Amino acid sequence: MVSVLEENCGPDIYCLPKADDTWVMGKLPSGMIRWNHNHPLFKVQGYVDVRLFEMTDTRKPVKEWINIHNNDGLLTVSLTKDTDWFALTHGNRENTSIMRQFRFLITPHGDWAEHQPWGPIFNIEEPPSFAIQPSNTHATESGKLARDALTPYGAKPTSTNIEVMIIRRRHPPKTISLTFDDVGTLPTHGPDSSDEKKNLEADGGSHQLIGTDSDQTPNSLRLTVKDARMIADTYRQLLRKPSWSGRDIETPQRTKSYYSDELMKRELAAEGTGVKHVTWTTLSAPETVPEDQEWSRNSIFVESSA
């Protein structure tokens, strides 16, 4: 490198890099730019503009060094993977270097004309260690994101939906509580829904009672007031004591009447009056009889003994 710098540069503008030279990324310095600082184009003004072009597009420079001092005619360039203006090649295969072709254009400061001469074409080598390799982790995460994008938010597997439906069908029905009243109709109390809040309607003089369970089904219990009263009367009769019924009272009354007749016979016998016949007569049904022949419910016929 020292011998190259000691060489005489001229009479042309460009001295380094030479044609087909190769700069290697990561090597410090990667390359050097040397021009003839005694050239008449640069000697007068004293400052130059250096532009680097890739051969794939010579209309737009990839890097510019503007207003560089012309004293030494030398510029050192270092290329690393962190160089912001040098785009790394994607998809470089392992153990394979990539060569890219470039050239310089050096002009007096502020004077860029197409007729000015270009520098020789040289190469910049991109080693495999600088190539951007695809990441397995990134690919895995991308695949996961793609699968998540195909699944709508909140969706659940079909098996879960079927399981929920089976559990709902096996759930036992709730007990319906009804309260009956002898007067008026019973209002329904359900969720705050316009469809649930219905007034009881009269149909042919009879009112319907609707269960108050919020989860009503098509088979909900419906009773009329007449049916409710009948159920209530039957329930009250079952709660009564057996002695309240007429059939249960009949036997004690007959026993009481028998003892009353015996007591009367004894009293009449003690007084010296014989009892020829005592009869217990009960009117089983209402009858119309003359007023002077009315019988009492309990009649006793006594015949005195002479």
* pLDDT value at residue 284: 45
> 140, 1, 110, 142: which is closest to 45 by C-alpha?
110
**pLDDT for 29 beyond 70:** yes
The pLDDT value recorded for residue 123 is 94
- Whole-number pLDDT of residue 81: 74
For tokens 């007449």, the residue is 226
Secondary-structure percent of the chain, ordered helix, strand, coil, rounded to 5: 30, 20, 55
- Please give the share of the chain, as a percent, with pLDDT higher than 90: 17
- Nearest-angstrom CA–CA distance, 301 and 268: 13
Distance CA 212, CA 189 (A): 6
Largest Cα separation within the chain, whole Å, is: 190
- Full-model pTM: 0.41
Which helix (H) or strand (E) is 305 found in, with range?
none
For 1, other C-beta atoms within 10 Å of its C-beta total 8
**Which pLDDT tens digit goes with each residue over 84-143?**
766 666 555 567 788 899 999 999 998 876 678 899 999 998 887 655 544 444 444 545
Beta strands 47-54; 98-108: pairing state: antiparallel
Is the peptide bond prior to 117 cis by the omega test (within 30 degrees of 0)?
Answer: no
Residue 292 has pLDDT above 90, yes or no: no
Residue that wins the pLDDT comparison between 236 and 91: 236
Rounded Cα–Cα distance for residues 79 and 64 (Å): 14
> Per-residue pLDDT for 227 more than 70?
yes
Q: Please report, for the chain, the start and end positions of each structural domain, with discontinuous segments joined by +.
A: 14-83+93-126
Please name which of 37, 35, 14, 30 lies closest in space to residue 119, comparing C-alpha atoms: 14
The dihedral over CA atoms of 169, 171, 172, 173, expressed in degrees to the nearest 10, equals: -70
DSSP, collapsed to helix, strand or coil, labels residue 181 as coil
According to the model, what pLDDT value does residue 297 have? 43
The second-level CATH assignment, the architecture, of 14-83+93-126 is: Sandwich (2.60)
User: How far separated are the first and last CA of the chain, in Å rounded?
Assistant: 180
Give the pLDDT score at 118.
92
Condensed to tens digits (0 to 9), the pLDDT of residues 43-91 reads 888 999 999 999 998 889 999 999 999 988 999 998 887 777 666 665 5
Mean pLDDT of the chain: 67
